[in-house]
Amino acid sequence: MNTEQADPAELAALREAFAVDDGGASALGWEAVHAFEKEHGVVLPEPYRTFVAEISDGSHQGPPEYGMVGLAEAARKQDLGRPFPLTQGWLWEEEEGPYDDPDAVIEQVAHHGSLTLGTDGCGMDWHLVVTGPHRGHLWLVTGEGALPHGAEFGHTTAGPGFADWVRHWSEGNDWFDAY
């Protein structure tokens, strides 16, 4: 997963996956993406960065189930400059984890270093990490816990990045297909 350079094959797959959307009409353009990054003090990970600049700023068709929100909405109530705090899954409803103040960490998971791309409903939100050790990874954040998406973490056969997340969805796979 390369979060610094957009892979042309990944971009082609993203364009194909979202071809029925709006034909790129909602794409923000590079000037708007650069302004967003400057305002929030981050550089968005590739290929999501090129996706919102050139392909689409969100999508009604998904992923996730209820569509992908646009960049401005994805960043609402988020402190993107503060690092996403987790590097491994944590079901806080079952365990406190290795934290002195678990409630503070839970708050950080929901609001630090990630864009909320959309929801599968019932409080199951997909986050793209933009700051911290898991930059470029997708995480499912729920009321019960948070899990990283990607074959290296179990649960799924997909890769951990944005393009892999979209590919997995566009192929009709279940999110948790490794069981």
User: How confident is the model over 5-24, as a mean pLDDT?
Assistant: 88
Sign of the CA dihedral running 109, 110, 113, 119? positive
Does residue 46 sit within a domain? yes
Q: Check which CATH number belongs to the domain holding 23 and give it.
A: 3.40.1580.10
**179 domain-assigned:** no
pLDDT band at residue 6 using 50, 70 and 90 as cut-offs? very high
Amino acid at 31: E
Residue 179 pLDDT: 67
176 within domain boundaries = no
Find the domain containing 17 and state its range.
8-170
Reported as type and span, the H/E element at residue 11 is helix 8-17
Among the ranges 18-22, 96-100, 134-138, which has the highest mean pLDDT value? 134-138
**Of 100, 178, 94, whose CA–CA distance to 142 is shortest?**
94
Q: Residue 151: inside a domain, yes or no? A: yes
**Global confidence as pTM:** 0.94
In this prediction, residues 166-175 reach a mean pLDDT of: 93
Number of domains in the chain: 1
- Return the axis-axis angle of helices 8-17 and 162-170, rounded to nearest 10°: 40
64 within some domain: yes
What are the tens digits of pLDDT across the range 113-163? 999 999 999 999 999 999 999 999 999 999 999 999 999 999 899 999 999
- 86: helix, coil or strand? coil
Within-domain flag for 3: no
